[in-house]
Structure 1
Amino acid sequence: MRNNFGDYLVVLMLYYFFRSFMNLKPIYIALLTLCIAYTVEFLQLINVIEILNLEQHTITKIILGTTFSMHDIIAYTLGFLTIVLIEKINTFVAF
């Protein structure tokens, strides 16, 4: 649960980080964020750390992770859906 909540939160944090300096529609930034999260998870699936011989680099292992999990994909997707919902509510409330 704790790890999956972190994956959920990282999508939200990345989205708001990108949104702070990108002048794009929110949905495009949300999709970019989701694509980045999915790409990182795919890199875990193909074991890119081992392919690039980076097993000894702790920071790289922390950033990219080492284990693929469908639970992570679900958490990323839920984070994306939360962003979409928040933006829809903000658009509706803004009149």
Structure 2
Amino acid sequence: MKLTFNFKNLIIAAIIFVIEFLIATTFKDIVFVRSYLGDVLVVMLMYYFVKAFVEVENTKLIIALVIFSCVIEFLQYFHFAEVIGFKDNKIAMIVLGNSFSWIDILCYLAGGLILYLIEVLAKSKSR
């Protein structure tokens, strides 16, 4: 792993961030988009943000981010954000979440799988 800067990945992360922001605000009442698509995209957002600043093996990063997302989700089962004193902090509650869902775990896995397929396709095209 080495530090680097990749403008393309930063732009992709920024675009996904804007989409996530729109999901949380404008499209918050569309259940499928808010409940599922946002969770699929959050893994992709983290991936491209990390890849913008660090050169790391793609598969390892995808696995690490899916595991990280699942850990955060499992912490929601124990109301971790409230336990550490963030109950009244809206931003922290949005970022850390407040309700556990197995479907969210599946969405994180789907996001990781989509990323993996994107990287496999990109690698096969470059050959």
Give the TM-score normalised by structure 2.
0.71
The residue aligned with 1:36 is 68
Work out the CA distance in 1 between the residues paired with 2:97 and 2:82: 12
Where 1:54 maps in the other structure, the secondary structure is coil
- The percentage of aligned residue pairs carrying the same residue is 29
> Is 2:123 aligned against 1:91?
yes
Q: 11, 16, 23: which one pairs with 2:55? A: 23
The residue aligned with 2:114 is 82
The residue aligned with 2:83 is 51
The residue aligned with 1:71 is 103
Work out the CA distance in 2 between the residues paired with 1:33 and 1:18: 10
**Residues 36-65 of structure 1 deviation map (CA, whole Å, 9 limit, x = unaligned):** 211110110111123223211111101101
1:53 aligned partner, one-letter code: G
Q: Segments of 4+ in structure 1 off by > 6 A?
A: none
Give the TM-score normalised by structure 1.
0.93
Work out the CA distance in 2 between the residues paired with 1:54 and 1:24: 32
The residue aligned with 2:8 is none
Where 2:53 maps in the other structure, the secondary structure is coil
Which segments of 5 or more consecutive residues in structure 2 lack a partner in the other structure? 1-31
